[in-house]
Amino acid sequence: MPVISAPQEFNVDDLYVELEWISGRSLYLKCEGFNFAGSIKLKAASEMIAMAERSGELGPGDMLVESSSGNMGVAISLLARSRGYRFTCVTDSRCTLGARRLMEALGTTVHLVTEPDPVDGFLGARINHVKRLVARNNGYVWLNQYVNPGNWLAHFNTTGPEVLKSFPEVDVVFLGAGTTGTLMGSARYLKQAKPSVRVIAIDTVGSVTFGTPPGPRSIPGLGAGVRPHILDESFIDDVVHVTETDTLRVCRRLADRGFLFGGSTGTVVSGALRWLELNAPDPGITAVAIAPDLGDRYLDTLYNDQWVEEIYGADALRSVTATRLLTRGNQ
């Protein structure tokens, strides 16, 4: 019987959903949302805060500050509340209402950026605001997940080893690219422990992470308006870019089987399905995809038909609905 004294002490690290019904081959989805923060970001947040404490950068009475589109903000909120720190999260209008309310319930001050930077988009505007806060206030500590080695080290120590422990025979692993902490930490470990594993990065259309043109993005999580500093493409074998309408389709298909996942997970699964179809004719291949989050914070967006129609148009809504009806008919 697990007994814990702090929320970060609990995390389900060996739960997988078998997706052969959607992929036609051995694809396993590693579920990272079963912890008190509701996402994989709890791992990185815990490591970055612990590193700041060990170095003496972070101490009693300090104010943590971070830029986040949602999940990292929730994770830091939980840890800050548990460990007695104050926290200011700088987010933007794409952050879901559920995530913002959860942060506020945990005592976090949420600052909402409403205007994107002309060049670097909402991410650039958020980072600029964080820099101003730190410059003006003593005792403000910016974890800076975009350059902090603790972001990827957390996954080098946990997520990568967990995948190989459960699937020592794995051939390919699919990882979403946001700040690239999960991607880089897992990839570094996998390439060191089992060089034959192919690591596939999944990004969103409109993200500049891998040199593609910037574009509008409405689903928080994966993708970036500024190339992440911790990205090292030498550890990556291939990249797949997924449109947000494809993310919606996959999220709704998974929901029709009772699996309510978040936007980042839908993007990763969509990219994995496409890559496997184009590059892996062998049905015996073993593939693992990382599911960063669950879907409860997306009820007002991804799973709301009115929101989908307002953001993507009536044609997109009809397409998503048609896909769901087809899926139900084949069950």
CATH number, domain of 187, equals 3.40.50.1100
Q: What is the mean pLDDT of the chain?
A: 92
| Residues 52, 30 share a domain | no
247: tokens are 């993310």
Q: Dig out the tokens for 255 from the structure.
A: 């929901």
Pairing of strands 63-67, 26-31: unpaired
Q: Are residues 176 and 294 in the same domain?
A: yes
Together in a domain, 190 and 223: yes
Residue range(s) defining the domain that contains residue 167: 7-35+149-322
Domain end among 142, 177, 205: 142
Do 16 and 50 fall into the same domain?
no
Q: What pLDDT was estimated at residue 330?
A: 53
Together in a domain, 271 and 127? no
**Annotation marks residue 41 as catalytic:** yes
Q: Could you give the CA distance from residue 331 to residue 325 in angstroms, rounded to a whole number? A: 10
Residue 183 counted as domain residue: yes
Given the residues 41, 69, 77, 186, the one annotated as active site: 41
Q: Considering the chain, what percentage of its residues have pLDDT values greater than 90? A: 77
In a domain, 300, yes or no: yes
Position 330 in a domain: no
13 and 153 share one domain: yes
Q: Model confidence over 208-237: pLDDT tens digits?
A: 999 999 988 888 888 888 899 999 999 999
Domain end residue (candidates: 142, 166, 190) = 142
Catalytic residue from among 39, 67, 77, 264: 264
pLDDT digits (tens, 9 = 90+) for 136-175: 998 999 999 999 999 999 999 999 999 999 999 999 999 9
Model-level pTM? 0.93
Residue-by-residue DSSP string for 146-198: TT-HHHHHHHHHTHHHHHHHH-TT--EEEEE-SSSHHHHHHHHHHHHH-TT-E
pLDDT under 70: residue ranges of the chain: 322-331
Whether residue 28 is found in the same domain as residue 100: no
pLDDT at 314: 85
Boundary (domain end) residue, out of 85, 112, 142:
142
Pick from 13, 2, 19: which is nearest to 174 by CA?
19
Residue 328 lies in a domain: no
Identify whether 280 is part of a domain. yes
Residue 2 lies in a domain: no
Say how many domains are in the chain. Answer: 2
Are 135 and 70 found together in one domain?
yes
Q: 268: alpha, beta or left, given left = phi > 0 and alpha = psi -120 to 50? A: alpha
